[in-house]
Homo-oligomer: A and B are copies of this chain.
Amino acid sequence: MRLVALPALRARLLDALDRHLPTHAHAEPSLRAALRQLASHPGKLVRAQLVLIGAEQHGWSAAAAEQLACAIEFFHVASLVLDDLPCMDNAETRRGQPCVHRRHGDATAILAALALINRAYALAGEAFLRAPRTVRRAAVTCLHRALGHAGLVGGQAWDLAFARTDRSSRTVAKIAAAKTGALFELTVLLPALAAPASGVERRWLRALCVYWGLQFQAADDLRDVLLTSVAAGKTTQRDQLMARPNLALALGVPAARHRLARLDTQIRRTLHQLNACSSRWDYLRQFHDTASALLARPVEAETVAA
């Protein structure tokens, strides 16, 4: 229970996130308030914790590990703020709070997301300053691939256009891999770039990111269908209404649960293969055993929405 049982790690992350938050005393008050709201409701910090542990495993300095963890958290938070906008998912609540755009307006929400994105690129740039050129090149490629038109942005475009696709579970999975999988690519691969991994290891790592992305998204899809907004801490029951990709809607709840279990098997098999290559990947298995399994576990039948 290394990851979630370590309050010190979370405290360290909260301190780093606060220090790196892109705001200052003379910033425009709404923008500052929006960023403060985001910082005050930090979520579970699953990705940031994994980055921190991975970066230390692979020999990063403590400062660079924190920069990398904050960068990925800021990219993640910015994507949530933008996804929640009225023109996207039109969500009302997030992390048990009114969404940033509900409290501060759409324009301020967009600007807060952009400030986070800009700071995140700066943090990633600083973290990789001392790395050799081949590693820096790989980092630029990784950020570009995961966040851009072939990753997060492209996935969100397909998410919004889902009603105009075949609506199959295959398309649902493709979108989840592009959106949720992309952020796991950053989370897992960026810290690992410091460790010269073999081609085989890189393939297993990529597969792991896709599976984790699918697993997290499938669990989120089940929560959207089965939970109330209060229980989930964010707006639910939205995917059917908005014609968004949702595995539980595409397959039905029992089949979605079954898929989730199968993904867990695939993840464990992948982690086993990675450990067979080198014990330095064991932190990924520890992560899966604790935080990931906890977060992505199928929601219980008794929590069905009223």
Contact = CB atoms under 8 A, between A and B. Distances in A.
Given A129-B133, A149-B24, A161-B29, A87 B106 contact: yes
Interface stretch (A11-19, A136-144, A200-208): A136-144
A206 to B, nearest CB: 19
A79 to B, nearest CB: 9
**Residue from the set A23, A30, A107, A158 with the largest chain B CB neighbour count within 10 Å:** A107
A125 interface: yes
A114 B154 CA distance: 10
Interface stretch (A45-53, A115-123, A225-233): A115-123
Nearest to A122: B144
A117 B117 contact: yes
Interface string A186-200: 000000000000000
Nearest to A156: B111
A275 B132 CA distance: 37
Nearest to A75: B118
Contacts of A140: 122, 125-126, 129
A200 to B, nearest CB: 27
Interface in A75-99: 82, 85, 87-88
Given A140-B125, A158-B28, A85 B108 contact: no
B87 A105 contact: yes
A267 to B, nearest CB: 27
8 contacts: A22-B149, A31-B154, A87-B110, A111-B153, A111-B157, A114-B117, A119-B148, A126-B137
Given A30-B161, A118-B149, 18 more contacts: A24-B149, A27-B157, A28-B158, A28-B161, A82-B114, A85-B110, A87-B107, A114-B148, A114-B153, A118-B143, A118-B144, A118-B153, A119-B148, A121-B144, A125-B125, A125-B140, A126-B140, A129-B137
